[in-house]
Every structure is written in structure tokens, then in C-alpha cells.
Amino acid sequence: PRKIIIDTDPGQDDAVAILLALASPEEIDLMGITAVAGNVPLPLGHKNARIVCELAGWTDIKVFAGCDKPLQRDLVTAEHVHGKTGLDGADLPDPRMDLQQQHGVDFIIETLRNEPSGTVTLCPIGPLTNIATAMQRAPDIIPRIQEIVLMGGAYFEVGNITPTAEFNIYVDPEAAEIVFGAGVPLTVMPLDVTHQALTTPPRIAAFRALGTKVGDTVAGWTDFFERFDMEKYGSEGAPLHDPCTIAYLIAPTLFQGRHINVEIETTSPLTVGMTVADWWRVTDRPANAMFMRDIDAEGFYGLLAERLARL
């Protein structure tokens, strides 16, 4: 299995990503979860990560607290989407698992230094603050990263927090600039992909039909999560963003994209946080990211239901 660290701000869709990883031990060896401030403030984020591990019965997963605010900006949260707790839609007990004492950024650095070079993949599904901080503090880890597979950005689907920016990149664009400029193999799941992965009623029903605590919980989360998008955009369901990263590691052929140059806007007040993707290769800027655009949504939801049934 592939060794990964999930860097997250849970969030219902983050929670489903964690569950998908825990349900797939043949493909994925989850070395730890680092929480970052994003959808909810940090204390709620690492609490939610532990709630999710306990729900899955994986109480030995190490959960760390990382950075509590972006590199240079004030934190922007998204309770308007995820609810006050970040995991609204299901009633789960407070975690009994301990939070690790080590800082999440130190865990990322230590893990990359201790494991053989090129064998650890990072999966950031929140703002990129922890990853960028690790890179700044310990540049020696950069060439040791096997790949970064992240959820963030948008090109054809433009923005969900401003007209031109996706939430994860918008919250900490300076961090995103560092990560996109690091020269690490980078695979990006933007809104262009995730807006094709909608939680339609039959897909939610399939989770509920699992007849398990995990199935009911995921159905409750997606039901809740959905309300926001359906009311606001009139879409048939809500995008289940973050699990696309884990699904890619399990079944990469579900996704298609292009290896292109992607730069991050950090200064313009109108477009800050935009992922400027050179999809048509109109510049000679070197490619730095595999920028996905399409997903086999039926295959993705089939994989998800099949894996969640194992928990």
C-alpha cells in the first residue's frame, strides 16, 4: 500500500475522504492525519478527525494539530456550508482518542525524513498552510515527497468562495503559491472535477442502504451538506470534493486531466486565490501540475459505496 498523510479541515467531505482511506488498507497506508484551520477553526478540526477515526473503528490512527491560521491572512471559515460543528448532519459522540502532542508540521517533516525518499504521498484537502510551513521550515523534505494529491482550485468552474477562487486556495493563497511552486509531482482535483461528483438522491440512498452506522452517518452528512448547494445553485446534489483525492490513489483511471502550468494569484483583490491554469498551453511556463478535469462519477460513487460497506 501507498503511504500517505491526510492534511485536513473536516468538514463532511473531508470526513468521507478519511473513511475512504481507512476502508482501503490494501491500497493505502494512512500514516497520520494532520489538521489545519479551514472549514472550521483548528480545535474543531482535530476533534472531528478523531470522531471520524473512531466511527471507522480505527482508534490507533495518529491525529495531529497543525497550523491554526493561514501564513499571512486572517482565517476564513465555512460554517455556512458545513454547519457549526463542521460535521453537522449526524450525531456522533465526542472522541476518546487522544490528540498527539507533536505539532502536525513536525510530524510531516519527521515522517518525510524518516521514510525512504519518494515513498510518502501528501493528500491536502484543506488550505495548504501546514504543507507550505513544512516546506519552508525544512526544504530538505521537498525532494523526498513522492507526490502531492490535493483538492483545490478551479478553472472552468471558477469559484465557490469568490467569483474566481475555490475555498482551499483562497483561504491561504501564499501557502498555495509555495506548494505549487515547489517542483513536487502535483495532482490537483479542482471544482471542475468535484462539481461532476454530485450526491444525487439515489447515491445518498445507496449509502443509507448499507445498513451500517457508517452508511447512515455518511448519508446524514451528505444530506446536510447538500442543502447548501441545492438551495444556492439549484443543482441536483452537492459536490463531494475531498474524497476525489483518495479515489485517485485507489483508482486513477476514474480521472482525466492535463499536465499543465498552474499559478496562484496572491495580490489582485478581485481574483486572489485563483488558480490560473494554462489549460490551452498558451504560455511557455513549465508544467507543474496534473490538473484534472473529468471524473467517471458513477465509478467514483460505486467505489465509495463498495469501500464504505467494509467499515
User: Which residues contribute to the site for ligand BDR (CB under 6 A)?
Assistant: 11, 13-14, 39, 78, 81, 125-126, 151, 160, 166-168, 241-242
Burial profile 92-123: b = 16 or more Cβ within 10 angstroms, e = fewer: beebebebbeebbbbbbbebbeeeeeeebbbb
Catalytic residue among 80, 103, 241, 259: 241
Output the smallest distance, CB 191 to ligand BDR, in A.
7
Contact 210, 309 (CB under 8 A): yes
Task: Supply φ then ψ for residue 258, to 5 degrees.
Answer: -130, 145
Instruction: Indicate whether 14 belongs to the interface with Ca ion (CB under 5 A).
Output: yes
Per DSSP, which regions of 250-309 are E strands?
Answer: 255-260, 262-264, 275-277, 289-295
82 is catalytic: no
User: Among residues 104, 126, 127, 239, which is the contact residue for Ca ion, using CB under 5 A?
Assistant: 126
Q: Which of 109/240 has CB closer to ligand BDR?
A: 240
Q: How many residues does the chain have?
A: 311
Partner touching 229 among ligand BDR, Ca ion, none, CB below 5 to 8 Å by kind: none
Window of 2-10, 133-141, 158-166, 259-267 that interacts with Ca ion by CB under 5 A: 2-10
Partner touching 160 among ligand BDR, Ca ion, none, CB below 5 to 8 Å by kind: ligand BDR
Shortest CA distance to 16 belongs to which of 244, 292, 223?
A: 244
Peptide bond into 11 cis (omega under 30): yes
Distances (CA, A) of 188 to 105, 175, 255, 301: 21, 15, 11, 19
Q: Which of 232/281 has CB closer to ligand BDR?
A: 232
Output the smallest distance, CB 153 to ligand BDR, in A.
9
Residue ranges binding Ca ion (CB under 5 A): 9, 11, 14, 125-126, 242
